[in-house]
Amino acid sequence: MNLSATEEKINQLAEKIHHYNTQYYQHSISEVSDFEFDKLLEELIKLEEEYPQFKRPDSPTLRVGGDISEGFETVTHRYPMLSLSNTYNEEELLEFDERIRKTVDNPVYVCELKFDGVAISLRYENGIFTQGITRGDGTQGDDVTANVRTIRDIPLKLKGKNIPNDFEMRGEVYLSKTQFEILNQEIVTKAKEKGVEEEKLPDLLLKNPRNAASGAIKMKDSAEMAKRKLSCFIYDAYGTPFDSHTSILENLEKWGFVVSDFYRKANGISEVLEFIKEWEQKRLELPYETDGVVIKINDLDKREELGFTSKSPRWAIAYKYKAEEAQSKLESVVYQVGRTGAVTPVANLSPVQLSGTTVRRATLHNEGEIKRLDLHEGDTVFVEKSGEIIPKVTRVVLELREENAKPIVFPSACPECQTELSREEGEAAYYCPNENGCPPQILAKIQHFIHRKAMDIDGIGGKTVELFLKENIIKDVTDLYNLDREKILNLEGFKEKSVDNIFKGVEKSKNQPFKSVLFALGIRHVGASIAEILAEEFYSIDNLMKAKEEDIANVFGIGQRIAESIKLYFSQEKNVEIIEKLKAAGLKFEQAEKKKVVVDGLFSGKSFVVSGTFQNFEREELKEKIKELGGKISSSVSKKLDYLLAGDKAGSSKLEKAEKAGVTVLSEEGFLKMLE
Ligand code: IVH
């Protein structure tokens, strides 16, 4: 083939594949078999590799991914990506309408569903997709073009008439409910193949479609991202020649974008309210998640008149649906004893359907919550579930309470070992102090010990621990390093291979660093990040055991409560015995002493608490970033703290404390500005 014939061939193949893609993804028609399609794609990939000069900027092979980015380039949005202000009830919506009517007579709105995913900005030049940017702080975002190209709903090349030379689209990238299930199923299958135990699976699963989508869009390997099979709805455009939102949506579809079918023009706020009511239940049946309705002024000139506040447009608002709630009956209250001895009341309920699942239990948190609800035996209660949160009892229907119903009284003794419960001053939870003798505490301590973030012992799961305890194969964590192979092989369901895995996992755990070992001990109030701070400060368990309470309390990010708990732990003979045995087994109880370098970074000398979830980062990622720049991470808010970096759902007590202590509360946007 001569060169021009090669170019021609590449063009033909690209056109053909584009056509099949459009038919399949936009019209659900398969004109060729998967096999034939893959053959065409492979042929094109091969030709493009050989003749990269002829690879088209809209080549369908870009969908397969393959580009690996080191990190994403930060780019400034040409049109800022604002967010919407939220309303939760009719009253607030009517107020919005009133504000609008001060500027616009007889406003015409467009109602759209609010898709629950991640916002994306897409640039098209001469009809070709050239850049995809995440929202970031609204002013600047990450260039994730290679990842966006793999999303089939996003056309690489536009078709139709009147396409502007250079314009931008806004939309929501999301993961469908089915695809979410499929991905989680794949995770389960792979984990099982590797011999991961059932109990460890929940830790590995994707939490919800939104998280999965936002994680995927930031993947460094676009081929990996392509496997997630994300989708995208377009809901806005900048730089197009249209004068209303509905005409934008209609034309976008003609150009090849995917627009949700369920938008509707509403003449006045009463029609908006109808739309909201209509979709409250219907939306739950859609194959993707939605969490509200977006209401926008249809006329673009009117939008201009209304303008923006610093954060959001005045011409649009989001109505968020309330978390679903259901009525049920309290059958009983049971008290669960956790790893650290904390006693949590749990309500057993008559089964009730809520957000597509059957709810039988709900948390009651602590004694205070039982009192707040004034909970009585047999009460009719409301339960609520939002997102991935465990269902909770929100209120009691007093009118339905039976006469002479007895109030629920929190027990004074441990329901498992009958030891008298105690409560620390200022704490909500009651504890069973019988740490080394209370069965559920023993079990949970060992389960915590083997956890991924602690000793990470593959091959043993929570159920195995339960069985080993029952069969007297282990009594505490030290026995894990002295297992009897024959005894295990005698148990039902244990074969050579699974026993090998247990021993391999145990052996490998000896490489876990000191911070993980310290966390694995399960000292009350010593979570993974506190363990890391302690390990960095004291280098060895011996130093930590020798340290005075005040020295521990004075370490940045630790404080009195944790220091007391650590001293209490070491004061118990049984705990010291455990440590000695684990040392003898070869676990790492020390780490190299790091030279304290004074980092001259942006955050040198500044301390941060990071709370909540963030749009652009995982929480751990943020902490690393702060440390890289010389800052310190603390887990509690005090007067000494410089910043509370608060994301969505940041702890309300942290926010309150910060306010009282005069600590600066930083939003994600504010933090990104500082980084600039
Ligand atoms: S319009 C100026 N329409 O909700 C902002 N947003 O806080 C215009 N979203 O970040 C946004 N569905 O990611 C719009 N139909 C829809 C939407 C939608 C979901 C997201 C979007 C934005 C957030 C608003």
pLDDT in tens, 5-30: 889 999 999 999 888 877 776 666 77
Per-residue pLDDT, averaged over 238-254, amounts to: 92
- Does the beta carbon of 325 lie inside 6 Å of ligand 1? no
- Residue 511 structure tokens: 């490489």
What tens digit of pLDDT does each residue of 288-318 get?
999 899 999 999 999 999 998 877 899 999 9
Tell me which of 39, 46, 114, 320 is the catalytic residue.
114
* Bridge partners, residue 13, by sequence: none
Mutate to test the pocket of ligand 1, among 79, 81, 83, 173 (most ligand atoms within 8 A of CB): 83
How many angstroms separate the alpha carbon of residue 23 from the centre of ligand 1?
28
What is the chain's alpha carbon radius of gyration, rounded to the nearest angstrom? 29
Is any atom of ligand 1 closer than 6 Å to the C-beta of 644?
no
Lowest mean pLDDT among 435-444, 514-523, 584-593, 642-651: 642-651
Residue range 343-383, pLDDT digits in tens:
999 999 999 988 667 889 998 989 999 999 999 999 999 99
Q: Alpha-carbon distance 671 to 132, whole Å?
A: 23
Contact 582, 506 (CB under 8 A): no
Residue to substitute in 137, 172, 304 for testing ligand 1 pocket (most ligand atoms within 8 angstroms of CB): 172
Secondary structure (3-state) at 648: strand
Phi and psi, residue 80, nearest 5°: -55, 145
**Cα–Cα distance, 10 to 488 (Å, whole number):** 62
**Pocket of ligand 1 contains residue 534 by CB under 6 Å:** no
Residue 119 CB less than 6 A away from ligand 1 = yes
Residue 638 dihedral angles phi and psi, to the nearest 5°? -145, 180
Residue 22 CA to ligand 1 center (angstroms) comes to: 26
Longest pairwise C-alpha distance within the chain:
94
**Is the confidence at residue 387, as pLDDT, over 60?**
no
Q: Which of 453, 456, 497 is nearest to 480 (CA)?
A: 456
Cα(295) to centroid(ligand 1), Å: 10
Q: According to the model, what pLDDT value does residue 2 have?
A: 77
Helical segments of 510-589, H only: 514-520, 528-538, 541-546, 549-553, 560-571, 573-585
Burial class for 599, CB neighbours closer than 10 Å (0-12, 13-18, 19+): middle
> What separation in Å is there between the alpha carbon of 653 and the centre of ligand 1?
29
Res. 101: pLDDT tops 80: yes
Q: How far is CA 552 from the centre of its chain?
A: 33
Q: Is 84 in the pocket of ligand 1 (CB under 6 A)?
A: yes
Q: Which of 133, 257, 294, 304 to mutate to test the pocket of ligand 1 (most atoms within 8 A of CB)?
A: 294
Mean pLDDT of the chain, nearest integer? 89
Q: What is the pLDDT of residues 156-208, one digit of tens each?
A: 999 888 899 999 999 999 999 999 989 989 988 888 777 666 666 767 788 78
Cα torsion angle, 393, 397, 400, 402, sign: positive
pLDDT band at residue 67, thresholds of 50, 70 and 90? low
User: Reduced to 3 states, what is the DSSP secondary structure of residue 490?
Assistant: coil
Burial of 131 (0-12, 13-18, 19+ CB in 10 A): middle
Q: DSSP per residue over 450-468, as a string?
A: HSTTTT--TT--HHHHHHH
pLDDT at 455: 95
> What separation in Å is there between the alpha carbon of 49 and the centre of ligand 1?
39
Token readout for 542 is 């011996």
Of 298, 292, 294, the residue nearest 312 (C-alpha): 294
- Work out the burial of residue 669: count CB atoms within 10 Å of its CB; fewer than 13 is exposed, 13-18 middle, 19 or more buried: middle
The closest alpha carbon to 176, from 289, 302, 19, belongs to: 289
CB 355 within 8 A of CB 284: yes
114 is an active site residue: yes
Which pLDDT does position 274 carry in this prediction? Answer: 97
* Cβ of 518 below 6 Å from ligand 1: no
Q: Whose CA is nearest to atom 12 of ligand 1?
A: 114
- Measured from the CB, is residue 435 less than 6 Å from ligand 1? no
- One-letter amino acid of 288: Y
Strands 108-115, 264-267: parallel, antiparallel or unpaired by DSSP? antiparallel
Picking from 115-119, 190-194, 462-466, 598-602, which range would have the lowest pLDDT averaged per residue? 598-602
Could you give the percent of the chain with pLDDT greater than 90? 55
Rounded distance, CA 473 to CA 465, Å?
9
What does each C-alpha distance from 75 to 58, 81, 147, 385, 616 come to in angstroms?
Answer: 22, 12, 16, 38, 14
